[in-house]
């Protein structure tokens, strides 16, 4: 993770600084035209997998709105932000009086990003609106992502969404909108973003100074996500995938040795990012096997794998959230997985 911007992957451009967006031209056009019509919704739920550009789109649109406060005279398209403009500099530095970015805060004691957006963070929105009321300016709140709101924080946001201030715009980001409160979803206009195609992903990586030299193999593993590609390229994700496949294919002592090597790598110091990658990968692999079994008519196997998916991902996520013995959890989970796959 970046030391300057906690929560930002090494090699990534923070969304508030990113002047380029790839692969979401239709979504940008919709937002620009909706705003220009003067009939845009006060809350937009920007949905899609992690790492495809939702936050970058949100900051671009916020910059567009704040740069053109009169919708009727706003351009028909969202241009790349000018880093030298006063509004862009304020947004980048977190100093804009008209934009509030709500995300998981950093724990002052550990220096690490907390596991949830708390109600204290949401209370900043109330203060934000009270301090800027009467200015006549647009006020934009980006919730990044709303999936991280704990229950109290979600209820607090809901109250604001139910009675939004005038000239307020909420850009609510979500990797998994099905997990949000239905009442929050019902008060937002959904805008779904698809994973990036190979061309857009290649351009996004080139914008970061990276080469997609592994071609189709990298694109397939990244699943249209820039953040997944960064984990594969900069965090050893490719090696983790290969080690996991070795665990699954090996037998006897060789499998046990492979398990321990993988568990050591995933429980090393500063391995939170790659551990999260592993949790996602193992879940995707189990569900892919479940779908394949279902299509083959092996419904009992598919059901067992679906239950295994829930159990495995829950145990791994609990280990991550509560800082449990990660190595032992990984070894146990991999052992259970191999046992189920051999049935």
221 occurs within a structural domain: no
Total count of residues recorded for the chain? 343
Select from 145, 179, 194 the last residue of a domain: 194
Report pLDDT digits (tens) over 34-61. 999 999 999 999 999 999 999 999 999 9
Q: β-strands 139-143, 189-192: how paired?
A: unpaired
* 89 and 168 belong to one structural domain: yes
The pLDDT, as a whole number, for residue 131 is: 84
* 151 and 67 belong to one structural domain: yes
Distance, in Å, from the CA atom of 250 to the CA atom of 339, rounded to the nearest integer, reads: 12
Select from 145, 161, 194 the last residue of a domain: 194
Question: Mean pLDDT over residues 57-66, rounded?
Answer: 98
Considering the chain, what percentage of its residues have pLDDT values greater than 70?
96
* 30 and 176 belong to one structural domain: yes
The pLDDT, as a whole number, for residue 147 is: 95
Report pLDDT digits (tens) over 151-200. 999 999 999 999 999 999 999 999 999 989 999 999 999 999 999 999 99
* 263 and 170 belong to one structural domain: no
Taken in order 188, 189, 190, 196, the sign of the CA dihedral is negative
227 occurs within a structural domain: no
Distance, in Å, from the CA atom of 62 to the CA atom of 75, rounded to the nearest integer, reads: 14
* 136 and 285 belong to one structural domain: no
Count the domains in the chain: 2
Residue 87: which CATH number?
Answer: 3.40.50.300
Cis peptide leading into 180, omega within 30 of 0? no
* 33 and 177 belong to one structural domain: yes
Is the pLDDT at 124 greater than 70? The verdict is: yes
Question: Mean pLDDT over residues 196-214, rounded?
Answer: 88
240 occurs within a structural domain: yes
The pLDDT, as a whole number, for residue 13 is: 95
The pLDDT, as a whole number, for residue 104 is: 92
Confidence tier at 211 by pLDDT (50, 70, 90): confident
* 77 and 174 belong to one structural domain: yes
102 neighbors 117 (Cβ within 8 angstroms): yes
Q: Is 82 helix (H, G, I), strand (E, B) or coil?
A: coil
Domain that holds residue 74: 25-194
324 occurs within a structural domain: yes
100 neighbors 128 (Cβ within 8 angstroms): yes
Distance, in Å, from the CA atom of 67 to the CA atom of 193, rounded to the nearest integer, reads: 24
Nearest to 56 by CA among 34, 75, 78: 78
Is the pLDDT at 113 greater than 60? The verdict is: yes
Report pLDDT digits (tens) over 228-284. 999 999 999 999 999 999 999 999 999 999 999 999 999 888 888 898 899 999 999
Does the pTM surpass 0.75? The reply is yes
Confidence tier at 213 by pLDDT (50, 70, 90): low
Distance, in Å, from the CA atom of 248 to the CA atom of 54, rounded to the nearest integer, reads: 34
225 occurs within a structural domain: no
226 occurs within a structural domain: no
The shares of helix, strand and coil residues in the chain, as percent rounded to the nearest 5, are: 55, 10, 35
Confidence tier at 119 by pLDDT (50, 70, 90): very high
Select from 194, 224, 258 the last residue of a domain: 194
Strand partners, 171: 44, 142
* 58 and 171 belong to one structural domain: yes
User: Which positions ≥6 away from 120 have C-beta within 8 Å?
Assistant: none
Better-scored residue on pLDDT, 329 or 134: 329
230 neighbors 9 (Cβ within 8 angstroms): yes
Nearest to 207 by CA among 61, 56, 315, 99: 56
Report pLDDT digits (tens) over 300-309. 989 999 999 9
Considering the chain, what percentage of its residues have pLDDT values greater than 90?
73
200 occurs within a structural domain: no
* 40 and 145 belong to one structural domain: yes
Is the pLDDT at 6 greater than 90? The verdict is: no
- φ/ψ of residue 210, rounded to 5: -110, 150
* 172 and 240 belong to one structural domain: no
Question: Mean pLDDT over residues 114-126, rounded?
Answer: 91
User: Which positions ≥6 away from 36 have C-beta within 8 Å?
Assistant: 71, 72, 74, 75, 76
Is the pLDDT at 1 greater than 70? The verdict is: no
Distance, in Å, from the CA atom of 33 to the CA atom of 74, rounded to the nearest integer, reads: 9
Distance, in Å, from the CA atom of 122 to the CA atom of 130, rounded to the nearest integer, reads: 13
Question: Mean pLDDT over residues 96-102, rounded?
Answer: 95
Question: Mean pLDDT over residues 314-331, rounded?
Answer: 84
* 120 and 250 belong to one structural domain: no
* 29 and 167 belong to one structural domain: yes
243 occurs within a structural domain: yes
Is the pLDDT at 342 greater than 80? The verdict is: no
Confidence tier at 76 by pLDDT (50, 70, 90): very high
Q: Is 44 helix (H, G, I), strand (E, B) or coil?
A: strand
């Amino acid at each position: 993770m970046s030391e300057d911007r906690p929560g930002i992957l090494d090699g990534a451009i923070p969304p508030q600084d990113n002047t380029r967006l790839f692969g979401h031209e239709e979504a940008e056009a919709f937002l620009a035209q909706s705003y220009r019509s003067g009939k845009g919704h006060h809350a937009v739920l920007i949905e899609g997998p992690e790492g495809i550009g939702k936050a970058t789109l949100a900051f671009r649109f916020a910059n567009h709105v704040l740069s053109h406060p009169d919708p009727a005279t706003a351009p028909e398209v969202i241009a790349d932000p000018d880093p030298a403009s006063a509004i862009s500099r304020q947004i980048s530095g977190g100093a804009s009086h008209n934009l509030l970015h709500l995300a998981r805060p950093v724990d002052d004691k550990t220096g690490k990003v907390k596991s949830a957006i708390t109600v204290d963070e949401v209370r900043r929105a109330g203060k934000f609106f009270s301090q800027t009321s009467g200015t006549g300016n647009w006020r934009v709140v980006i919730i990044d992502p709303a999936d991280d709101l704990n229950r109290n924080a979600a209820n607090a946001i809901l109250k604001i969404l139910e009675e939004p201030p005038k000239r307020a715009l909420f850009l609510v980001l979500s990797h998994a909108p099905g997990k949000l409160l239905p009442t929050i979803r019902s008060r937002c206009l959904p805008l779904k973003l698809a994973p990036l195609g190979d061309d857009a992903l290649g351009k996004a990586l080139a914008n970061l100074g990276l080469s997609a030299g592994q071609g189709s193999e990298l694109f397939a593993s990244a699943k249209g996500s820039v953040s997944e590609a960064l984990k594969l390229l900069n965090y050893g994700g490719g090696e983790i995938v290969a080690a996991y496949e070795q665990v699954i294919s090996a037998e006897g002592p060789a499998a046990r040795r492979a398990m321990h090597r993988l568990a050591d790598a995933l429980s090393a110091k500063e391995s939170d990012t790659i551990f999260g990658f592993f949790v996602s990968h193992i879940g995707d692999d189990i569900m892919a096997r479940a779908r394949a079994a279902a299509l083959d008519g092996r419904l009992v196997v598919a059901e067992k794998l679906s239950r295994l998916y829930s159990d495995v991902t829950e145990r791994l996520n609990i280990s991550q959230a509560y800082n449990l013995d990660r190595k032992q959890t990984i070894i146990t989970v991999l052992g259970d997985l191999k046992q189920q796959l051999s049935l």
